[in-house]
Amino acid sequence: MSKKHFRSLLILLTLLFLISSSVFAYQFGGDITVGTNTTLFDQEVETTTYQNINLGLELDNANFAVTFKNNTANQEFDILLKKAYIKSSFKNLEIKLGKQPVSWSFGSLINLVDFSLGAEALGQETETKYINAVELNYPVNWYSSLTFVNEFNNNYDKYGFRGRTLIQNFDFSLNYIKQSSTSNSLSRLGVSLKGDIGSLGVYSSYTNMDYQDEIINSDINTNALMVGVDYSFYINQKQGYGNRLMVQGEYHIVKNNAGLPVLLSSLGRAELPFDSGSNIPNGNDYLQILLSNLNYNINDFSSIGVFTLTSLKDGSTALIPNYSNQLNGNTTLRISGAFLSGSQTDLFYSPAKVLNIELSYVF
């Protein structure tokens, strides 16, 4: 089904749905964000300001969310439709049709077995996750379900299956995603699990990737492994009180060939000021990445943290510090940056340094 036909079908179903529903329970809300983004590049400073308004409306069986974006750098005003979907149930089968967020997160910093690579990365969601799709979900019991997603896109065909269950208190998923265009295709088959060993949170994923390119006549099959841990504890207890420190660490190992672009896509490049790894030639070398997240709650309202990404092969590191403070009312101040230490031939390299400051008000 083409994107055009999909839109027509969606509009028709939405109208039918709205006409047939007489009484709605609804929630309406949103937020307004103003921010500045400063990039320091070769001693030149470029600052842009932006304003975003997010509006959301949730009805019993439908959901709408839209972002109005204004960027002073390019004088562009943009509208991003994030959600416009209806949901319905037939016996046990649940259906969501329309523009909707799809991600198969399980708590990792990056997720190679997600439906959309980079949909969520380093604790942030990206625009990648909002897709035109139909989702069929069949709950087997309170903790198990089978999910099928078909994305409608003019540039490629994409679908995925997910089976999710609980085994010995571990959240277990088996995912398969295939995306193909006229010249190439990428399929990913993987498992993920998350649970506890004692008081330590542990999680892992294993992904098999198959990349076929008809133009250069290549077929690469490769695997990726990730293991991660998270833990939190009180520090600063000398005077009988303390603050929580949350620590999360992830180790990834992939081959450079097909694994590298998948891993980089999973990073959600919006967080970084460059195309990471553009200087790394494809090959069969193993690439090992260490990710960490430290987050310290200063008090109930503010926290400070830092994400780090380190390539174990060349030692290059990306630092993404962040600070947030909930001011009076529903206003939050967020400050974040991105600094990379590597040289030109390293994985995490960029001469640019980025600083972002924003204020958002939720209503």
Residue 241: partners with Cβ closer than 8 Å, 6 or more residues away:
none
Residue in 143, 279, 288, 343 binding another protein, rule: CB under 8 A: 143
Q: What is the rounded CA–CA span in Å between residue 295 and residue 245?
A: 6
Q: Would you state the structure tokens that stand for residue 125, as one six-digit string?
A: 């969601």
The reply to whether 100 sits near another protein by the rule CB under 8 A is yes
Q: What is the rounded CA–CA span in Å between residue 317 and residue 291?
A: 10
The reply to whether 20 sits near another protein by the rule CB under 8 A is no
The reply to whether 147 sits near another protein by the rule CB under 8 A is no
CB atoms within 10 A of CB 297: 16
The reply to whether 132 sits near another protein by the rule CB under 8 A is no
**Distances in Å between the alpha carbon of 109 and those of 124, 251, 321?**
9, 10, 15
Q: What is the rounded CA–CA span in Å between residue 73 and residue 76?
A: 8
Half-sphere exposure of 217 (CA within 13 A, CB side): 0
The reply to whether 106 sits near another protein by the rule CB under 8 A is yes
User: What track of x and - describes contact with another protein for positions 226 through 255 (by CB under 8 A)?
Assistant: ----xxxxx--x-xxxxxx-----------
Rounded to a whole number of angstroms, the minimum distance from the CB of residue 196 to another protein is 4
**Binding segment toward another protein, per CB under 8 A, in 4-12, 18-26, 224-232, 276-284:** 224-232
Is residue 164 within 8 A of residue 99, CB to CB? The reply is: no
The reply to whether 24 sits near another protein by the rule CB under 8 A is no
**What region, left, alpha or beta, does residue 257 occupy, with left being phi > 0 and alpha being psi -120 to 50 degrees?**
alpha
Task: Using the CB atoms, write b or e for 11-27: b if 16+ within 10 Å.
Answer: eebbeebeeeeeeeeee
* Binding residue count for another protein, defined by CB under 8 A: 51
Residue in 27, 75, 155, 168 binding another protein, rule: CB under 8 A: 27
Which residues ranging from 151 to 210 are in contact with another protein (CB under 8 A)?
Answer: 164, 166, 169, 171, 194-196, 199-201
Q: Which is nearer to another protein, 240 or 281 (CB)?
A: 240
Which residues ranging from 64 to 93 are in contact with another protein (CB under 8 A)?
Answer: 65
Binding stretches for another protein (CB under 8 A): 27, 29, 58, 65, 94, 100-101, 103, 105-107, 120, 125, 129, 137, 139, 141-143, 145, 164, 166, 169, 171, 194-196, 199-201, 230-234, 237, 239-244, 297, 299-301, 326, 328, 330, 362-363
